Structure 1
Amino acid sequence: MGLKTLLIAAAAASVAIAASVEEQLAKRGNLPTPVSASTARTYLNSITVQAESNSPAYDRDLFNHWITISGACNTRETVLKRDGSNVQTDSACASTSGSWYSDYDGATWTAASDVDIDHIVPLKEAWVSGARNWDNARRQQFANDLTRPQLLAVTDNVNQAKGDMDPAEWLPSRTAYHCTYIRA
């Protein structure tokens, strides 16, 4: 293969990857539209800052996550199908093949077991920021929200390292994704 052919193939692959990433972002729901600086200042001035509270103590089970979405598919399997490419599932909706690109670190995985579904706003962060005052139905909706880009298929150990940290404490290692992550 000549250098020219190799360069053309590499360029075509880059365009295909970029189109695939844009397609995946579109499937996840719309990111909030940035507001003007004056509107942002108005919003910020209307916020009452309070200390986070973990009273009563956070309990992940109070968020009832990974509920059945359709047929045998729970929230996790639905996100795996949405965020993956060429995902095949068995009769129980478990992913048997496919590939997943992690926006957090740029890694691609071919085993669903290597992928976690991340809550961009961690459930504990939501709890200490006020979700402790929500009823069970609202917490369940938040934990399984497919209408916003709140749930993402990402590299499992990266998600586990993030834990319950918010954007002030943790950002993805892939700097090209920082703005998208913060907007989401």
Structure 2
Amino acid sequence: MPSFRTRSATWRRTAAALLAAAAVAGAAACAPSPGPTTAPSSAADSVQLLGRLTVATAGSMRGYSRSRFPHWRETGENCDVRDTVLKRDGRDVRLRGCNVVGGRWVSVYDDRTLSDPSQVDIDHVVPLANAWRSGAADWDDQRRGEFANDLTRPQLIAVSATSNRAKGDQDPSQWKPPNRDYWCTYAEHWIAVKHHWRLSVTSAEKATLTDMLETCSWAKRP
């Protein structure tokens, strides 16, 4: 069986080849997605999407406010996007009207099981402030609201409040989920969101995402 070092070298050569192919695709490959997209189906897909992202230094926080990303939107009588995600991600969810008052949630960031919805936060996988620094500062508030309430991409997830607040607005080069088994999925989701919304990545962020994709089962095959 090939050694870990050999498998790692093979993965890096494969990733480099895919990134090169993505670059050759040119501007047409970078065109905005015409409609809703889903998370990539494999680490190989994520490598290609990562290669299409613009690498740039983080922008200024000047003018930023969470209010520039209106959330949570109403999704029915007395319901909002937070309620929707809590119901989607929970098990044995109990409701009072449209409000979630109980259930069970597994926080994939830190592998904790929670039964009190007050201990659950709805995390923006790509934080609002990070989005502002990577392109959203140039959007209008309507588009920022669509980003903040995006239920189509893997952008909203129910996690423990402690892990969400530890993450803050940091990118993967600054913070990763304590649950290492989730790194592959986290990187795939981060890349999918940034690709769809045409947000840039820093060089450190891109390097870390490449390393995190190496934890995927696809990358570990001999």
Is the TM value for this pair above 0.5?
Answer: yes
Q: Return 5+ residue gaps in structure 1 as ranges.
A: 1-28
- 1:40 Cα offset (Å): 2.9
- Selected match of 1:53 from 50, 56, 59: 59
Q: Confirm whether residue 33 of structure 1 aligns to residue 60 of structure 2.
A: no
Q: Confirm whether residue 114 of structure 1 aligns to residue 122 of structure 2.
A: no
CA distance in 2, matches of 1:49, 1:108: 37
- 1:90 Cα offset (Å): 1.0
Residues 69 and 52 (structure 1), Cα distance of their counterparts in 2 relative to 1, 3 Å cut: same
Amino acid aligned to 2:88: R
CA distance in 2, matches of 1:35, 1:176: 14
Residue 61 of structure 2 contacts residue 129 of structure 2 at CA under 8 Å; is this kept in 1? no
- 1:35 Cα offset (Å): 7.1
- 1:48 Cα offset (Å): 4.7
Structure 2 counterpart SS, 1:149: coil
> Equivalent pairs: percent with the same residue?
45
Q: Confirm whether residue 94 of structure 1 aligns to residue 94 of structure 2.
A: no
CA distance in 1, matches of 2:177, 2:55: 26
- Larger displacement relative to structure 2 (67-76 or 159-168): 67-76
Q: Confirm whether residue 76 of structure 1 aligns to residue 82 of structure 2.
A: yes
CA distance in 2, matches of 1:49, 1:102: 31
CA distance in 1, matches of 2:159, 2:53: 32
Cα RMSD for the two superposed structures: 2.1
- 1:33 Cα offset (Å): 3.2
CA distance in 2, matches of 1:156, 1:47: 30
- The aligned counterpart of 2:70 is 64
Give the TM-score, by structure 2 length: 0.63
Q: Encode CA deviations 1:52-98: one digit per residue, 9 max, x unaligned.
A: 2125331111000111012221111110000000111112x221211
Deviating 4+ runs (over 6 angstroms): none
- 1:168 Cα offset (Å): 1.4
- Selected match of 2:137 from 105, 113, 132: 132
Structure 2 counterpart SS, 1:183: helix
| Structure with higher RCO (Cα < 8 A, 6+ apart) | 2
Structure 1 counterpart SS, 2:153: coil
Amino acid aligned to 1:135: D
